[in-house]
């Protein structure tokens, strides 16, 4: 779902879910956000009631016909006042030069044996009252076309957390990725059109911004490093895409669970048994101090499995949020500028009409930073490591720094050659 390059099919099919010291069967976690909106089917009115409705409709039509100009304008005004959607901020007003000035962080991060909230903690009802206005509902619209060229509109719903009074909201990248329209609904019911200020596919985090017309309540970031197993936490979000502001509670089941997402992405996440459902993605996980200690993003979903939900730790999220607010992307990520494709036994016939290669392997589709590599070049080695999948390239590059030199051994038309070039900083389009 969120691939810089063609994923390794073996990785996609074999996702692992591993404990640090336990042996268990491989599992994969799934992103949690709601596709579409649920609509309740109302029962049809009885025959007598339908007749009454018809009479009332006729009377209403007569009234509207009598005062169409005034009545129509008044009706439109009422609808606008009832459910307005405020305009988004201008493109030149998306970023802030100093995120430290606007993001509130915990000021007394001393660790405690009792966990991140310390010995004096609120009751769950107190936490809910403290943080409910900082969690929002997000409705995203994605427009595309079917294989037949027919326009198609898809909708999804998720959650977000206000992290600055100026209108910055953190959510999961998969909630707003490729969205053509984003509507944010505050806990007060006020609606805003939002714009993506920045996103990061690797961490599955995004920051969106609205232009607030009212005072916003921002969440205070806690210190996720001070969480302890068994510590009580509260999740607030928008399960099923229709139940905004829902509060659930649970405990921290693991402070650093290594998992593989269904799309092959490896992540280190907080694990909790708080009830999490589709639509909770991007919502907040709070400690009993009311501090944000995680961004909900995934769950393990299978028949007979309950209480396996995951969140991005706040310490990790905070640094990414600051970069997204200031620059629109995460700085310092190395990029080889290579777009590659894996030609395997399984997909060979699918790609042959376009690629027409005779050997299996990893092939260059496009090379941005090294013009010596061209389309259909086969990558054999990088820094002396034999390459059999695109995921290996990503792993090698991720262990380097911006400005490092990598050496690529490649083949073209039966001839083998070597090229070296500098890694650049990854900047999303």
Q: What would you report as the CA-atom Rg of the chain, rounded to the nearest whole angstrom? A: 25
Name, in order, each residue with C-beta under 8 angstroms of 134's C-beta and a sequence gap of 6 or more.
Answer: 161, 162, 216, 217, 218, 219, 284, 292
- Whether 174 sits among the annotated catalytic residues: the reply is yes
Active-site entry in 174, 221, 226, 291: 174
Q: What angle do the packed helices 47-66 and 68-82 form, to 10 degrees?
A: 110
Report the alpha-carbon distance of residue 390 to residue 413 in Å, rounded.
21
Of 253, 218, 250, the closest CA to residue 233 belongs to 250
Report the DSSP pairing between strands 378-382 and 415-422. unpaired
Burial class of residue 114 in the structure, from the number of CB atoms within 10 Å of its CB (0-12 exposed, 13-18 middle, 19+ buried): middle
Active-site entry in 134, 157, 203, 281: 281
Are 328 and 198 in contact, with CB atoms under 8 Å apart? yes
- Secondary structure (DSSP) of 67-106: THHHHHHHHHHHHHHHS-EEPPPPGGGS--S-GGGTS-B-
The DSSP secondary-structure symbol of 318 reads H
- Whether 281 sits among the annotated catalytic residues: the reply is yes
- Whether 188 sits among the annotated catalytic residues: the reply is no
Report the alpha-carbon distance of residue 136 to residue 222 in Å, rounded.
19
Report the alpha-carbon distance of residue 354 to residue 105 in Å, rounded.
52
Active-site entry in 139, 204, 323, 377: 204
Active site members: 174, 204, 281
């Amino acid at each position: 779902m969120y691939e810089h390059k063609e994923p390794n099919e073996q990785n996609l099919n074999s996702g692992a879910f591993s404990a640090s010291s336990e042996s268990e069967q491989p599992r994969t976690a799934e992103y949690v956000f709601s596709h579409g909106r649920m609509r309740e089917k109302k029962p049809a009115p009885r025959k007598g009631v339908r007749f009454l409705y018809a009479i009332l409709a006729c009377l209403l039509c007569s009234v509207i016909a009598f005062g169409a100009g005034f009545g129509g304008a008044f009706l439109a005004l009422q609808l606008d006042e009832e459910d307005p959607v405020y305009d988004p901020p201008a493109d030149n007003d998306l970023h802030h030069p100093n995120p430290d000035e606007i993001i509130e962080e915990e000021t007394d991060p001393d660790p405690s044996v009792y966990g991140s909230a310390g010995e004096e903690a609120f009751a769950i009802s107190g936490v809910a009252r403290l943080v409910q206005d900082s969690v929002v509902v997000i409705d995203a619209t994605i427009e595309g076309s079917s294989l037949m060229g027919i326009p198609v509109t898809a909708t999804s719903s998720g959650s977000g957390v206000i992290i600055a009074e100026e209108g910055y909201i953190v959510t999961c990248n998969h909630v707003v990725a490729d969205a053509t329209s984003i509507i944010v609904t505050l806990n007060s019911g006020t609606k805003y059109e939002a714009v993506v200020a920045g996103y990061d596919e690797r961490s599955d985090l995004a920051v969106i911004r609205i232009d607030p017309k009212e005072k916003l309540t921002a969440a205070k970031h806690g210190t996720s490093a001070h969480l302890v197993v068994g510590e009580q936490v509260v999740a607030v979000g928008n399960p099923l895409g229709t139940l905004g502001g829902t509060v659930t509670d649970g405990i921290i089941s693991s402070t650093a669970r290594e998992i593989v997402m269904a799309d092959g992405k490896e992540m280190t996440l907080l694990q909790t048994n708080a009830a999490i459902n589709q639509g909770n993605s991007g919502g907040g996980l709070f400690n009993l101090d009311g501090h944000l200690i995680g961004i909900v993003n995934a769950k393990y979903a299978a028949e007979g499995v309950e209480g396996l939900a995951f969140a991005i730790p706040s310490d990790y999220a905070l640094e990414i949020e600051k970069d997204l607010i200031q620059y629109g992307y995460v700085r310092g990520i190395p990029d080889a500028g290579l777009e590659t494709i894996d030609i395997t036994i399984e997909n060979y016939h699918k790609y042959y009409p376009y690629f027409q290669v005779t050997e299996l392997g990893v092939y260059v589709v496009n090379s941005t930073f090294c013009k010596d590599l061209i389309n259909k070049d086969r990558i054999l080695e990088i820094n002396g490591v034999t390459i059999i999948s695109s995921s290996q390239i990503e792993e090698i590059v991720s262990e380097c720094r911006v400005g490092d030199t990598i050496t690529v051994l490649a083949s073209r038309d039966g001839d083998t050659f070597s090229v070296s070039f500098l890694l650049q900083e990854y900047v999303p389009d």
